[in-house]
Amino acid sequence: MPHYPTTEESDDHEDVSDTHPPQPAYFAEQALLGALLLEPQRLADVTGIDASSFSEYAHGVLFAAIRGRPAPDPVQHTLDTSWLNAVLAAAREHARGLTASYLHTLIQVCPWPRHASTYARMIETDHARRTLRAHAMCLVQTARDDTLPHPVPATLAAADALAGAVDEIAARFPMPSGLLQRTPALAPIGTLPNTGKVADEEWLLLATATAHPADVEQMRWLTADDFSQPLQAGLWQSLTALAYRRAPVDPITVLWEAQQRGLLKPDVEPAKLLDLLASPAGSPQHWGELIVQRSLLTTAHQVGCHVQALTDDPTTTPYQFIIGGRRALARLSSVRTRWHQATSPPSTVNRPRDRTTSPPRASPPRTTAPPATRISR
């Protein structure tokens, strides 16, 4: 084993690790660096990682310094410390806390230098986990950011970045043929914190669509899953069923259809329901777009949380990241398609014949809409 410099460092020592308890990947990083310091020729066996793959900044800097210098002659390396001195000097330009004694520690904790490629694979796996978690957290934060002027494009960009990270992991960790992997089940789609504004917009849609049922036939992109509450979702199904059957549509017929579907629970007063359905404002298209947009943001938030949960589980393998991530993103893709249908210019080809004259698409009314009476749900 070569002799290591014993010169005391004159600058302040900087810890190479943080205050959190070391995780298994930390020890894999130490073992790999120790193997490369002891037997630099092992670098030829190390693939798939670079300095950014390390969880510890100082470890990444040291790896870059090792890779940045040609490997010394193995015999000469056992006789002098010139190569180690050069590596330490290069690394200290970016991590002043590194010391000769820490390099000695790295070599001491390395069990077997010949396992360097295995240690590198461990580091690559942990880096994939951290990368995926960062993208998932970004998606969650973007989907819930109320300050964004255009939240949907920003959220979809974050989702695309997450999908790209999943594809990159799939390229790095191809699944062996015939291998079946357990994947945690997707959690049911939840809703972001519900507010009175959300309920008001859904009731305004139902009332306006009841007043203009011809527009309902052009809104197949809006589904019951997009609503925040089961009652509103069931009423939308009732209304669309009447519209698709070309049956008469008005508050009374919608109320009757709701009763046939078992929606009129004891806490739902028919008279209040009629009042809500008889208070249209604006256009169904406008309110429908707001609802499907909220559904998209809610689903994106849920997808990000699911992928983040996958990465937080230390037993999850890269193959499970791939399967679980793609399954979650497929759920978002469905809502994304419907949102594009809702916001794309309407096609005049094969457009069903309107039975009534519907108002042009409009933005929210300038006057305050009649307050919606809440129904206990």
For the domain 196-283, what is the CATH code? 1.10.860.10
Pick from 169-178, 242-251, 292-301, 302-311: least confident: 169-178
pLDDT at 359: 47
Higher pLDDT, 272 or 182: 272
User: Per-residue confidence at 194, pLDDT binned at 50, 70, 90?
Assistant: low
The pLDDT of residue 201 is above 50: yes
- What average pLDDT does the segment 216-232 reach? 93
As a whole number, the mean pLDDT across the chain is: 85
Q: What is the mean pLDDT of residues 46-63?
A: 96
- Across 260-272, average pLDDT: 91
In the chain, where are the structural domains located? Answer: 24-111, 124-174+295-343, 196-283
Measured distance CA(89)–CA(66) in Å, rounded: 11
Question: Sorting pLDDT into bands at 50, 70 and 90, what band is 179?
Answer: low
pLDDT at 347 over 90: no
Predicted confidence (pLDDT) at residue 114 exceeds the cutoff of 90: yes
User: Mean pLDDT across the stretch 341-364?
Assistant: 56
Q: Once rounded to an integer, what is the mean pLDDT over residues 195-201?
A: 84
pLDDT at 288 over 50: yes
- pLDDT at res. 304: 96
Banded pLDDT at 40 (limits 50, 70, 90): very high
Q: What whole-number percentage of the chain has pLDDT above 90? A: 71
Q: Distances from the Cα of 97 to the Cαs of 12, 86, 202, in angstroms?
A: 7, 16, 59
- Across residues 253-260, what is the average pLDDT? 94
